[in-house]
Amino acid sequence: RRKGYPEVIFCQGKSIEHVRGIIKDMLEHGEDILGTRADRTMYDELKRDFPDLKYNEDGRIIYLKRSHSQPVGRILVATGGTSDIPVAEEAACVAEFFGNNVGRLYDVGVAGLHRLLSHMDELRRAKVIIAVAGMEGALASVVAGLVSCPVIAVPTSVGYGANFHGLSALLTMLNSCASGVAVVNIDNGFGAAYIASIINRMGEKI
Amino acid sequence: RRKGYPEVIFCQGKSIEHVRGIIKDMLEHGEDILGTRADRTMYDELKRDFPDLKYNEDGRIIYLKRSHSQPVGRILVATGGTSDIPVAEEAACVAEFFGNNVGRLYDVGVAGLHRLLSHMDELRRAKVIIAVAGMEGALASVVAGLVSCPVIAVPTSVGYGANFHGLSALLTMLNSCASGVAVVNIDNGFGAAYIASIINRMGEKI
Amino acid sequence: RRKGYPEVIFCQGKSIEHVRGIIKDMLEHGEDILGTRADRTMYDELKRDFPDLKYNEDGRIIYLKRSHSQPVGRILVATGGTSDIPVAEEAACVAEFFGNNVGRLYDVGVAGLHRLLSHMDELRRAKVIIAVAGMEGALASVVAGLVSCPVIAVPTSVGYGANFHGLSALLTMLNSCASGVAVVNIDNGFGAAYIASIINRMGEKI
Amino acid sequence: RRKGYPEVIFCQGKSIEHVRGIIKDMLEHGEDILGTRADRTMYDELKRDFPDLKYNEDGRIIYLKRSHSQPVGRILVATGGTSDIPVAEEAACVAEFFGNNVGRLYDVGVAGLHRLLSHMDELRRAKVIIAVAGMEGALASVVAGLVSCPVIAVPTSVGYGANFHGLSALLTMLNSCASGVAVVNIDNGFGAAYIASIINRMGEKI
Amino acid sequence: RRKGYPEVIFCQGKSIEHVRGIIKDMLEHGEDILGTRADRTMYDELKRDFPDLKYNEDGRIIYLKRSHSQPVGRILVATGGTSDIPVAEEAACVAEFFGNNVGRLYDVGVAGLHRLLSHMDELRRAKVIIAVAGMEGALASVVAGLVSCPVIAVPTSVGYGANFHGLSALLTMLNSCASGVAVVNIDNGFGAAYIASIINRMGEKI
Amino acid sequence: RRKGYPEVIFCQGKSIEHVRGIIKDMLEHGEDILGTRADRTMYDELKRDFPDLKYNEDGRIIYLKRSHSQPVGRILVATGGTSDIPVAEEAACVAEFFGNNVGRLYDVGVAGLHRLLSHMDELRRAKVIIAVAGMEGALASVVAGLVSCPVIAVPTSVGYGANFHGLSALLTMLNSCASGVAVVNIDNGFGAAYIASIINRMGEKI
Amino acid sequence: RRKGYPEVIFCQGKSIEHVRGIIKDMLEHGEDILGTRADRTMYDELKRDFPDLKYNEDGRIIYLKRSHSQPVGRILVATGGTSDIPVAEEAACVAEFFGNNVGRLYDVGVAGLHRLLSHMDELRRAKVIIAVAGMEGALASVVAGLVSCPVIAVPTSVGYGANFHGLSALLTMLNSCASGVAVVNIDNGFGAAYIASIINRMGEKI
Amino acid sequence: RRKGYPEVIFCQGKSIEHVRGIIKDMLEHGEDILGTRADRTMYDELKRDFPDLKYNEDGRIIYLKRSHSQPVGRILVATGGTSDIPVAEEAACVAEFFGNNVGRLYDVGVAGLHRLLSHMDELRRAKVIIAVAGMEGALASVVAGLVSCPVIAVPTSVGYGANFHGLSALLTMLNSCASGVAVVNIDNGFGAAYIASIINRMGEKI
Ligand SMILES: Nc1ncnc2c1ncn2[C@@H]1O[C@H](COP(=O)(O)O)[C@@H](O)[C@H]1O
Ligand SMILES: Nc1ncnc2c1ncn2[C@@H]1O[C@H](COP(=O)(O)O)[C@@H](O)[C@H]1O
Ligand SMILES: Nc1ncnc2c1ncn2[C@@H]1O[C@H](COP(=O)(O)O)[C@@H](O)[C@H]1O
Ligand SMILES: Nc1ncnc2c1ncn2[C@@H]1O[C@H](COP(=O)(O)O)[C@@H](O)[C@H]1O
Ligand SMILES: [Mg+2]
Ligand SMILES: [Mg+2]
Ligand SMILES: [Mg+2]
Ligand SMILES: [Mg+2]
Ligand SMILES: [Mg+2]
Ligand SMILES: [Mg+2]
Ligand SMILES: [Mg+2]
Ligand SMILES: [Mg+2]
């Protein structure tokens, strides 16, 4: 585990008992709690034992944070469509938990450029942008062409047919003709938030 | 062969003698000549026998057209980068041969949106747009989002690594989140020009 | 959104409440309603609130259209087999909604050519043909070889084994040796209808 | 080696010396010679030592047959385009060597159905048909729908882009919606001729 | 439909009502009934209306045959493992329905060669062999090396991991180093039986 | 073009004349020159016209920089093997050109962990690490597990067989179980240097 | 079946009755019982008839062993994460059943090298190591670089997105830059244990 | 480097000067020399400086061994065809260099089982078998079914079409239905010899 970053629980595939045990243990050691890929049933059960536990339903994140500091820098999370929001919320919620100042710009995909272009201020204000898109995944290239900050691209599995479960967006993003883009795994909002957080905090005095 | 469309010679893989024979035969039947995928050596050889034969070097097209009519409608051929120009010229030259009024808008890829946006007049004037792009192939979606006419998308094999010889651009274009896009084979400038020509001429009185 | 084309709701993955809200909003703005990928449960629920809402069960389309104009041109929707009908109905129903005159020619796959050939009149009457086929997807090539109008090819995921969820039909259609074919995403009846509609209306005075 | 079938030399990747040795050896044992994938240089060299050796240039076959019997049955080799002829000639030449009566029907692809349909007599006369096609490979299905005899389908690597070196034709043929089709490897004219020969001779009294 | 072969119902994806209607119709026209991919529920329902309908549970075949002729020739259906039996039974039952004399040789995969080798008589007696195998699919090659008759290879989706739903067996069979093998689609017992039946009956006087 | 970053020439596929023209033009506008994928022949030719042009042979970079500032921060370029050095040098040379302080740590792949572990100081000193590796590409994960800074992973096409031209390393890096990794295209040393440079300079006062 | 190795039942896809019959039969012949891929329901049912039957829940193994000998040699089963444990337990339990001395070293993936390095004694003590890992699957290479004994690598399907159901780990392991690694199928704990057992016992006097 | 195993030079992609330098260095340290993937030109050049250097032309191995010990155990290298011999010789020559007693059994593929079965003694005598095969790669399964020792399977890229450069043989071997098989990379004769050598020497007193 890196300095400044708590252990994160990947809840998918774990039993509620298992997660409960991990949380109990972490709380006893005075740690904050962050769990990803937790469905509502798991949250409702855990909530009984840990009444302070919070839930981001779209992002399927459980969290409990006792230490509070002023959010720093600016990470902007943008999505191509509304179906990409679950992955975007995983990223946004994790980034906030890690103490970053986070903005959201959803449903600004390239089929309607004007929506994206009308937010140039938001785009320019960011120190790091997380671009989340499925289907043809062109958002990352377009955004990277408009800004000077690093863009972390997250392909999503949103779509059908020849999207081959996210492969189309993944390849699009890897082949971006705009410079300043690097890519994480399909649907990996967490991973994008993690590296974006390290980058966003680099220029800060924390 | 369809009415109004001459037989087209696919020169790749054919010997010069073979192509010479076909041309001779077609000329004797009073037909115009259009040959694709012809390299300069082939052209130089054929030029000796058929001094009127013309060559589009970038598009690797040989042609000889005796009938001349007023070009109709407006097909716009756009490319993402300069490396896509050979495929674009194959499309543009074939479309001109078929009697269409053709515009070119090259190197307007999504990494520099301003270039594309500064040609909104050109884009709106077109009755059909052929969008040619390799690497991430996002041009087709962006263009389709800006205009109301049909967009024929041509993925190119331009790029390296995870472009997998045009697969990335192909998948991008098939998954376009903008409506009004249909796709032809990788590097198939000819095929795009053919269907664009049929469409462009539909509204004309010819 | 393009001039003359209403906003279309992609219902799959959206909750009934979400769709209900969108419809309510659109009706208040005087818009017609078109929703794709809606299952019967969703329709039955929505029907209570919007008694005029109609349903195309095969095509899984909900729609409500108040403005009525004379259908124009002629789009023919053809399928290879009976299992391709859901995708074809998505295309046909969307095309009708957009004001096009639509014909249907189902189960005319290439294993029984005589069926297809006995409808040459129907084929020739069309201004645009949408060819819907799974498995080996050869219908698009055969049809394009018989007619002079543009053919929009829709590969379907119908089949098993080495069809790889529509990949075989997709590749077949992209490699069509007949000119005049362009392809949309696997199972994308909607996308085919959209571009076919633009093309079909180009030659019309509307 | 099966009864009635000579050992066949796969020349590709073998040195001329190696092939010369094998031929010498086989001739001494009184065997007929059949070699596939032999280029002209190899043939010209071998011809010096074995003046009776014959060559099928298109099919790249070297052969020398001393026993001659009346060809039996009827194998028809059909191709979609002219570029498929090398694979077809490999099949036809091998089938003739094995003592079968062989017909050829080239360039009858599905983009021009009339060509194929004008040869119904030829098609019906065959006891086995070998259908050779690249690009979309639809020939096998169309032929199988027209006849009652077995169809051996040979996908070829002819084409470019999304043909992926023969994959498109291979998948098309495996997914044939017409019954009575079985498939061999991409470009495997030899393999098709071999099994076609066994089948063709089954009904004969030899 | 070919002479001598009844229409076959592909039941998968059809409603019971739909299939009932087809059967009723066919019986009224005096036709025999053959339906593939029918689950037990469908059979039990149909049985009420058509008490003579029979069921092959492993092969998921429903059938009703009134005409009875002496089975001819010999088709042998062999499998690599016991998990391949459903596909093999589809093939065997269809072949029997078509009037062929059918043998079964199950679980003789190449991991235990002695089992296969102890049935050389059975193998040699066959006029056509259908080799059904999943996982590495080597059965077809081994069998083809032992016999002189045609081998129709059916890859199955049996296995896990790097079998990629039948891809491994499919590629194995297409690349068979033994001559005399041709391949049908993954899990396509029906297709194998159909072509095997045509071949098997070629040498017969029927 | 972003502020502070010069236009970069992708020389591959461009003629020497073409590149010469671009350079001449840029020099006249007072710009620095950076060209990637330039082979030695191109460099030797260009050197005649532009005697100050420099060449990084391994990285195939041509460059000419007149402005000189103190390199800032610390980018470390690490490789798994010696065959990855060309891609690494492309990255290192570009990063130096952009004014970054660059370290190199080559041939520290995971098969000999001790080599990597003996450079913990170097690793910890970096503000950004570029991890370049082919074959199994595990270097990125291992490095990311050892440090707290962002890791930009570059898969290379080094290897053979089941590396599928870089696919294996690409998938490895996308699936990294260590957090803090983002990936660029196969062999894309330039792209890695570009984003690494933006990140490295974020914390600097420039 | 090999000498010294009992017949193993692959329970997945078999009915409880079928497995019960096989067990009954084997017990009557005095054989020990080993069944893989058995879920708890199957075990609970079988337990009634065979009260001595044991169950390894994680590894989904049922077993009953009457003969007991001293375990020999040392097979170490290591995993990258906790999600790989089911596959690892399949391997470990099978290896124990076959009479091997087995060690377990779980959750020692390359993102936290220190965990792995703190067990060098355990690693060096092994005669064969089974390395089980999903996602990027780098464990096998890292372990093979640290030890001199053979490493059997088992890729798992653990992960999501670009792991493509185990493909990423499989390719990683096949491309290992460390020598001394050989690979079995994705999730095939049984196969790894089988070959590891043969190797481990080679040096023993049994 | 492991105890008892010299450093091995992968010559492919290295300049002759580079390899010469490495050899000089190693000889000065008293080490034996083993280089793989060295073509004849490289050998001829190096031979001048190091007259004792030997060459295995088929296996493309250069080697120079001063220490000589009695070869131990028994590794048998078997191939399916003669085209697999280069990969097999790489394996055999490396295994001999490492001090193992090596047997060769070439061209015993499954299309002619009798050849393989006539060498049961050879097969049973081996302590480890390396099975080298391209195309359908069934050799490994068949061999593993006949013997009790470990089988290291090497898929080769031999073949064409749907062998997809070795993918077919690779998948076949990974899906082996015979137990006791583990697989190395396509064409990786060296890797197979390395792990086979470790295993073969385990039971020996060296
Ligand atoms: N949504 C996610 N996607 C990928 N990795 C994750 C995710 N959430 C947590 N992780 C990683 O998984 C680790 C915990 O895995 P585990 O030990 O299985 O709970 C964390 O330390 C993170 O590095
Ligand atoms: N560049 C091209 N790509 C794809 N198809 C082409 C191309 N050029 C010509 N064709 C088609 O190829 C046919 C001629 O093929 P061939 O008979 O082999 O010369 C023409 O009628 C066109 O339909
Ligand atoms: N199991 C099967 N696999 C592939 N094709 C089949 C199968 N069963 C029937 N068919 C084919 O499907 C056709 C009927 O399809 P349908 O009209 O959809 O019922 C038949 O004429 C057969 O050619
Ligand atoms: N988990 C497993 N994965 C792969 N093969 C297995 C597994 N368990 C058992 N086997 C093999 O499957 C054979 C039994 O298959 P079956 O006859 O279908 O029960 C055994 O002899 C083993 O070789
Ligand atoms: Mg930018
Ligand atoms: Mg548009
Ligand atoms: Mg046409
Ligand atoms: Mg037929
Ligand atoms: Mg045979
Ligand atoms: Mg780290
Ligand atoms: Mg080691
Ligand atoms: Mg064995």
Q: Name chain G contacts of F109, Cβ cutoff 8 Å.
A: 177
Q: Report the run of H or E that residue F28 belongs to, with start and end.
A: helix F16-28
What pLDDT score was predicted for residue C67? 82
Q: What is the DSSP string of G191-205?
A: HHHHHHHHHHHHTS-
Query: Which of G152, G154, G185 is the best substitution to test chain H (most H C-beta atoms within 10 A)?
Result: G185
Local confidence band at F111 (pLDDT 50, 70, 90 cut-offs): confident
Q: Name chain A contacts of F180, Cβ cutoff 8 Å.
A: 2, 194-195, 198
CA distance C92 to chain D (A): 24
* A7 vs D92 pLDDT, higher one: D92
What pLDDT score was predicted for residue F205? 55
Query: Could you identify the atom of ligand 3 that is nearest to the CA of residue D177?
Result: 23
- pLDDT, average across residues B142-160: 96
pLDDT > 90? residue C7:
no
Specify whether the CB–CB gap between E138 and E115 falls below 8 A: no
What is the percent of chain C where pLDDT is above 90? 90
What pLDDT score was predicted for residue B116? 96
Structure tokens at C185: 């995403």
Summarize pLDDT for C79-101 with one digit per residue, the tens: 999 999 999 999 999 999 999 99
Q: What is the number of the ligand closest to the CA of B186?
A: 2
Specify the 3-state DSSP secondary structure of F187.
Answer: coil
| Low-confidence stretches of chain H (pLDDT beneath 50) | 1-3, 206
- Protein residue closest via CA to atom 23 of ligand 4: H179
What pLDDT score was predicted for residue C4? 58
What pLDDT score was predicted for residue E68? 84
Give me the residue from B3, B190, B191 closest to C148, CB to CB. Answer: B3
Q: Report the run of H or E that residue D104 belongs to, with start and end.
A: strand D100-105
Local confidence band at A205 (pLDDT 50, 70, 90 cut-offs): low
For chain A, give the mean pLDDT.
94
ipTM: 0.94
Give me the residues paired with residue B139 across strands: none
Query: Could you identify the atom of ligand 1 that is nearest to the CA of residue A13?
Result: 18
Ligand 5 centroid–CA A178 distance in Å is 6
Ligand 9 centroid–CA G47 distance in Å is 48
Q: What is the number of the ligand closest to the CA of G23?
A: 4
Structure tokens at D3: 């009864």
Summarize pLDDT for D78-92 with one digit per residue, the tens: 999 999 999 999 999
What pLDDT score was predicted for residue B6? 72
What pLDDT score was predicted for residue D205? 55
Q: What is the number of the ligand closest to the CA of E106?
A: 4
Strands H54-56 and H61-64: antiparallel
Specify whether the CB–CB gap between H187 and H166 falls below 8 A: yes
Local confidence band at F1 (pLDDT 50, 70, 90 cut-offs): very low
pLDDT > 60? residue D206:
no
Summarize pLDDT for F18-33 with one digit per residue, the tens: 999 999 999 999 999 9
What pLDDT score was predicted for residue F19? 97
End-to-end CA distance of chain F: 19
Summarize pLDDT for E12-31 with one digit per residue, the tens: 989 999 999 999 999 999 99
Ligand 6 centroid–CA A137 distance in Å is 17
Q: Of F196, F134, F203, whose CA–CA distance to F167 is shortest?
A: F134
pLDDT > 80? residue E158:
yes
How many CB pairs lie under 8 A apart between chains D and E? 80
What pLDDT score was predicted for residue E1? 47
For chain B, give the mean pLDDT.
94
Nearest chain C residue to B193 by CA distance is C180
Local confidence band at E7 (pLDDT 50, 70, 90 cut-offs): confident
Local confidence band at C1 (pLDDT 50, 70, 90 cut-offs): very low
Torsion of CA F1, F7, F9, F14, to 10 degrees: 70
CB contact under 8 A, H5 and G179: yes
SS (H, E, C) chain A: CCCCCCCCEECCCCCHHHHHHHHHHHHHCCCCEEEECCCHHHHHHHHHHCCCCEEECCCCEEEECCCCCCCEEEEEEEECCCCCHHHHHHHHHHHHHCCEEEEEECCCCHHHHHHHHCCHHHHHHCCEEEEEECCCCCHHHHHHHHCCCCEEEEECCCCCHHHHHHHHHHHHHHCCCCCCEEECCCCCHHHHHHHHHHHHHHCCCC
How many of the other CB atoms lie within 10 Å of CB of A135? 33
- Protein residue closest via CA to atom 9 of ligand 3: E10
C-alpha span between H110 and H132 (Å, rounded): 12
Structure tokens at H201: 């020497």
C-alpha span between B110 and G180 (Å, rounded): 47
Q: Is the CB of C81 under 6 A from ligand 3?
A: yes
Q: Name chain E contacts of C162, Cβ cutoff 8 Å.
A: 166-167, 170, 185-186
Whether H contacts A, i.e. 3 or more CB pairs less than 8 A apart, is no
Specify whether the CB–CB gap between H94 and H189 falls below 8 A: yes
Give me the residues paired with residue C62 across strands: C35, C55
pLDDT > 60? residue B2:
no
Mean pLDDT by 10 residues, chain G (206 residues): 72 94 96 97 98 98 93 97 96 97 96 94 98 94 96 97 97 95 98 98 72
Nearest chain C residue to E155 by CA distance is C161
CB contact under 8 A, C183 and B174: yes
CA distance E143 to chain D (A): 13
Neighbours of chain B (3+ CB pairs under 8 A): A, C, D, F
Specify whether the CB–CB gap between A175 and A141 falls below 8 A: no
Residue type present at position C60: R
What pLDDT score was predicted for residue H4? 58
Instruction: Tally the C-alpha atoms within 13 A of residue G102's C-alpha that lie toward its C-beta.
Output: 22
CB contact under 8 A, F185 and B160: yes
CA distance H186 to chain F (A): 5
CB contact under 8 A, F110 and G145: yes
Pocket around ligand 4 at a 6 A CB cut-off: E 81-83; G 7-10, 36-37, 188, 190-191; H 179
Nearest chain C residue to A111 by CA distance is C1
Structure tokens at C140: 């698009």
Structure tokens at H135: 């195309």
C-alpha span between C169 and C171 (Å, rounded): 6
Kindly report the pTM of this predicted structure: 0.95
Q: Which residues keep their CB under 5 angstroms from ion ligand 8?
A: D 144, 180
Structure tokens at E31: 């036709």
Query: Could you give the strand order of the β-sheet that contains B54-56, starting from the edge strand earlier in sequence?
Result: B9-10, B33-36, B61-64, B54-56
Ligand 9 centroid–CA E117 distance in Å is 14
Q: Is the CB of E5 under 6 A from ligand 3?
A: no
Nearest chain A residue to C13 by CA distance is A83
Summarize pLDDT for D119-177 with one digit per residue, the tens: 999 999 999 999 999 998 999 999 999 999 999 999 999 999 999 999 999 999 999 98
Residue type present at position F57: E
Q: Of F41, F6, F5, whose CA–CA distance to F22 is shortest?
A: F6
CB contact under 8 A, G180 and H170: no
Helices F16-28 and F40-49, axial angle in degrees (round to 10):
40
What pLDDT score was predicted for residue D1? 46
Summarize pLDDT for F180-206 with one digit per residue, the tens: 999 999 999 999 999 999 999 987 754
Q: Is the CB of A37 under 6 A from ligand 1?
A: yes
Summarize pLDDT for G73-115 with one digit per residue, the tens: 999 999 999 999 999 999 999 999 999 999 999 999 998 899 9
What pLDDT score was predicted for residue B4? 58
What pLDDT score was predicted for residue E79? 98
C-alpha span between F187 and F156 (Å, rounded): 5
Q: Name chain E contacts of G194, Cβ cutoff 8 Å.
A: none
CB contact under 8 A, D182 and E127: no
pLDDT > 90? residue C205:
no
Q: Name chain G contacts of A166, Cβ cutoff 8 Å.
A: 161-162
- pLDDT, average across residues D47-76: 96
Specify the 3-state DSSP secondary structure of D78.
Answer: strand
